[in-house]
């Protein structure tokens, strides 16, 4: 199974056991540039799971290019700790690589003691919000040498390959880009001059590490920034890398400041694989594809179809390090999913916090959260088959307890099915797929359409009860709240009712905005029709675009705070707000709704009272915990735990991590 994915590949003289690579991803497991046990445990787990290459990084090569937080290999003192890491990775059967990094203008001044970052030219960076100083020739030679010395240290430390980062908008990309490189000397202007910095750098690295040592580079297949390099120019850049002696090219998407989503659910699976294919057509060395390659089937297809020679599985392996092993052994349905939510990884990095995974409660806690077989097996009753209850049931079963699940509805999944209803959120249903597979694997009894009572509990006589009652929509006391035109956001997302031409959504948090997006898209042109009309040039492209972003309802969101989306993750908020704008959703902030009687929304603004008539009013004012059974159980004296929204409404990580930890404590 997956014969292409699990065939070996040769990179220079190194043979890698399969076509799966874990790429460099910032983790923030230390704030002193040094490795620690958290890093060791994390990378060991990734290697143990079966990846062919495990790339450590990004790793800085000097202070001004990375600062005092990211890992660094800028001095010989770092070699022993990296030697320990490479041994751990090799002992698990993987090939350890390292990515060497310099951010250039993307360096945040606060990370370098408020010094001024340096870059090819003094062009303001939208990413770091700083204007760097232009590098002198001496600076250029110093940085090139730092890369070469860092590569030599990496080789000494036992890394079997070095990757140079020339993507994402970092230093090398800045030299290559006519948008960021305004130099008039031999390092700017023509294509030949703009590639000079990286050509010299690669030559110096190759001289240090030798001809037989694997050297890779990570490049953007398209910068996705207007005025910079597109997929027209990048194949020519790739040819330069090949000529410089690079052994493998790792192709990814655009810059951090790009307005094209690079990682979230909006990007279709393998959505940027074509960028790797575009490069592969022009070079004769192996090429890696990256971004949203999530399942073994799509990974196999990328290689089988000749789009790329290897695949990068980044956040996918954080969600389940054993993805390769499970795929190889025909257990793909048991892979814990990465749903591209960005909440535990990208959002945390942007907030300066260590990476974890919403869907994998062990990610980042590999040395702490381990399931141990119990010496005192208990009969556990789990009430509620939302993701909190499912994770608790699975973990308790794996620990050796006897578990039964009871659910009052006709299927498992709970609120995750509501959360998966808005556009681009369907990937969340992968959690249901996963838990269904694990229930089958461990033969966990599930009783559907059963509402648990205290009498039933007394009959079953469990040793412990895990109550996962969930939450329900909050319908605040307001004039008109019981009118027939009023509906909760949950009912809109779950039942998809027909709505009128003018729809109000009360509440501009994540749920309200996602619901507004769901409503606004209803009735718009679907992708299949777009493809058909484009193929046959049936109508002008601009007319197609109009139909793509015009649904059946005009939506207005009312939010009492000054800004909407306060609880939406930093890395995805701009994507959601952009989509709402495309679909013409009006967002009224600083607008406190006082009445919705007869479909007339009366609201108070800083300028006074206003009102507007709507066909439907959707309430998205939050949710409240359901604690009916938990209170009854508490009074009965039966040992129990509560997990998930019935404790307090929260996000997915509270449910999954809460279920896991509760089961560990049994």
pLDDT at 571: 87
Average pLDDT, the chain: 96
Peptide bond just before 58 cis, omega within 30 deg:
yes
DSSP string, 383-416: E--BHHHHHHHHHHHHTT-EEEEE-SSSSSBTTH
Rounded CA-CA distance 341/83 in Å is: 34
Averaged over 233-250, what is the pLDDT? 98
pLDDT one-digit tens code per residue, 341-378: 999 998 899 889 999 999 999 999 999 999 999 999 99
- Which two tokens mark 248? 């493998």
Residue 636 has pLDDT above 90, yes or no: no
CA dist., res. 467 & res. 461, Å (int): 15
Identify the CA nearest to 565 among candidates 595, 550, 585, 549: 585
Q: What are the CA-CA distances from residue 30 to residues 36, 125, 562 (Å)?
A: 7, 26, 35
Contact 245/210 with Cβ under 8 angstroms? no
Residues 557-585 have pLDDT tens digits of: 999 999 999 999 888 999 999 999 999 99
- What value, to the nearest 5°, has the Cα angle with vertex 81 and ends 80 and 83? 60
Cα 303 to Cα 74, 102, 253, 293, 594: the distances in Å are 36, 31, 18, 11, 58
| CA distance to 405, 527, 649, per residue, from 408 (Å) | 10, 36, 19
Q: Provide the CB-side half-sphere exposure for 575 (13 A, CA).
A: 21
Q: What is the mean pLDDT of residues 510-531?
A: 97
Average pLDDT on 149-178 reads 98
Nearest in space to 238 (alpha carbons), one of 260, 208, 216? 216
* 226 φ/ψ angles, rounded to the nearest 5 degrees: -60, 130
pLDDT tens-digit readout, 6-46 = 999 999 999 999 999 999 999 999 999 999 999 999 999 99
pLDDT for 264: 84
The residues, any chain, with a CB within 8 Å of residue 290's CB and separated by 6 or more, are 23, 250, 251, 252, 253, 272, 276, 311, 312, 314
- Asked if the model's pLDDT at residue 634 lies above 90, the reply is no
Give the CATH number of domain 9-350; options: 3.40.50.720, 3.40.1390.20, 3.20.20.70, 3.30.360.10: 3.20.20.70
Q: Would you kindly state where each structural domain of the chain is located, as residue ranges?
A: 9-350, 379-472+624-664, 475-621
pTM score: 0.95
> How far does Cα 230 stand from its chain's mean position?
24
**In a 10 Å sphere around its CB, with 0-12 CB exposed, 13-18 middle and 19+ buried, how is residue 275 labelled?**
buried
pLDDT digits (tens, 9 = 90+) for 119-128: 999 999 999 9
Residue 649: pLDDT over 90: no
State both tokens at 158: 């036992």
Average pLDDT estimate for 476-501: 95
Residue bearing tokens 């143990």: 48
36 close to 30: Cβ distance less than 8 angstroms: yes
Closest C-alpha to 492, from 468, 515, 475, 512: 515
Cβ atoms within 10 Å, residue 185: 10
Q: Cα separation of 625 and 628, whole Å?
A: 9
For the residues 50-71, what does the mean pLDDT come to?
A: 96
CATH topology assigned to domain 379-472+624-664: Rossmann fold (3.40.50)
pLDDT, position 329? 97
Class of domain 475-621: alpha beta
Is the pLDDT at 650 greater than 90? The verdict is: no
pLDDT at residue number 263: 85
**Cβ-based neighbours of 593, under 8 Å, separated by 6 or more:** 478, 506, 558, 560, 601, 602, 603
Mean per-residue pLDDT, 384-395: 97
Q: Band of the pLDDT at 637, cuts 50, 70, 90?
A: confident
**Residues 156-161, mean pLDDT to the nearest whole number:** 98
Predicted confidence at residue 149, as pLDDT, reads 98
Q: Which two tokens stand for residue 425?
A: 């959120």
CA 299 to chain CA centroid, nearest Å? 17
Longest dimension (CA), the chain: 85
Supply the pLDDT for residue 447. 98
């Amino acid at each position: 199974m997956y014969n292409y994915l699990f065939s070996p590949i040769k990179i220079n003289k190194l043979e890698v056991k399969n076509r799966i690579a874990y790429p460099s991803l910032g983790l923030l497991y230390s704030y002193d540039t040094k490795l620690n046990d958290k890093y060791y445990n994390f990378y060991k787990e990734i290697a143990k799971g079966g990846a062919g290459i495990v790339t450590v990084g990004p790793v800085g090569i000097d202070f001004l290019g990375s600062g005092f937080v990211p890992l660094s290999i800028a001095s010989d003192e770092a070699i022993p700790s990296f030697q320990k890491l490479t041994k751990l990775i090799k002992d698990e059967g993987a090939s350890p690589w390292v990515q060497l990094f310099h951010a250039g203008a993307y360096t945040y001044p606060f990370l370098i003691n408020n010094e001024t970052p340096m870059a090819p030219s003094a062009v303001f960076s939208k990413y770091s919000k700083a204007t760097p100083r232009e590098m002198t020739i001496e600076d250029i030679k110093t940085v090139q040498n730092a890369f070469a010395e860092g590569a030599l240290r990496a080789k000494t430390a036992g890394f079997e390959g070095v990757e140079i980062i020339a993507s994402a908008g970092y230093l090398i990309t800045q030299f290559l880009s006519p948008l960021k490189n305004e130099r008039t000397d031999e390092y700017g202007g023509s294509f030949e001059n703009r590639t000079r910095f990286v050509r010299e750098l690669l030559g110096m690295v190759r001289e240090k590490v030798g001809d037989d040592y694997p050297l890779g580079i990570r490049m953007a297949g398209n910068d996705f920034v207007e005025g910079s390099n597109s997929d027209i120019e990048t194949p020519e850049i790739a040819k330069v890398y090949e000529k410089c002696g690079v052994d493998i090219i790792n192709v990814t998407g655009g810059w951090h400041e790009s307005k094209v989503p690079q990682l979230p659910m909006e990007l279709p699976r393998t959505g940027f694989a074509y960028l790797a294919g575009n490069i592969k057509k022009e070079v004769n060395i192996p090429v890696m594809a990256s971004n949203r390659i999530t399942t073994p089937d799509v990974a196999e297809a990328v290689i089988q179809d000749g789009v790329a020679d290897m695949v990068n599985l980044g956040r996918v392996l954080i969600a389940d390090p054993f993805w390769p092993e499970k795929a190889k052994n025909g257990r793909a349905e048991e892979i814990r999913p990465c749903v591209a939510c960005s909440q535990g990884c990208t959002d945390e990095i942007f907030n300066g916090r260590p990476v974890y995974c919403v869907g994998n409660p062990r990610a980042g806690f590999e040395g702490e959260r381990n399931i141990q077989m119990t010496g005192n097996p208990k009969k556990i009753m789990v009430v509620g088959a939302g993701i909190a209850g499912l994770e608790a049931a699975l973990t308790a079963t794996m620990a050796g307890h006897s578990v039964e699940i009871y659910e009052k509805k006709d299927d498992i999944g709970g609120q995750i099915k509501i959360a998966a209803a808005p556009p681009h959120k369907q990937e969340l249903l992968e959690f249901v797929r996963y838990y269904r597979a694990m229930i089958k694997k461990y033969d966990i009894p599930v009783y559907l359409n059963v509402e648990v009572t205290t009498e039933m509990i007394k009959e079953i006589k469990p040793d412990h009860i895990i109550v996962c009652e969930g939450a329900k929509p909050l319908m605040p006391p307001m004039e008109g709240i019981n009118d027939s035109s009023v509906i909760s956001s949950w009912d809109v997302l779950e039942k998809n009712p027909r709505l009128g031409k003018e729809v109000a959504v009360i509440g501009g948090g994540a749920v309200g905005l996602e619901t507004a997006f769901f409503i606004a898209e209803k009735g718009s042109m679907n992708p299949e029709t777009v493809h058909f009309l484009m193929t046959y040039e049936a109508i002008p492209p601009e007319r197609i675009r109009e139909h793509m972003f015009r649904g059946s309802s005009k939506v207005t969101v009312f939010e009492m705070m000054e800004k909407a989306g306060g609880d939406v993750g930093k890395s995805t908020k701009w994507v959601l707000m952009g989509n709402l704008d495309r679909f013409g959703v009006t967002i009224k902030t600083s607008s406190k709704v006082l009445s919705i009687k007869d479909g007339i929304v009366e609201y108070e603004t800083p300028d006074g009272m206003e009102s507007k008539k709507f066909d439907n009013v959707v309430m998205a004012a939050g949710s409240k915990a359901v604690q009916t059974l938990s209170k009854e159980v508490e009074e009965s004296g039966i040992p129990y735990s509560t997990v998930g929204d019935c404790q307090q409404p929260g996000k997915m990580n509270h449910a999954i991590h809460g279920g896991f930890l509760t089961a560990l404590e049994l």
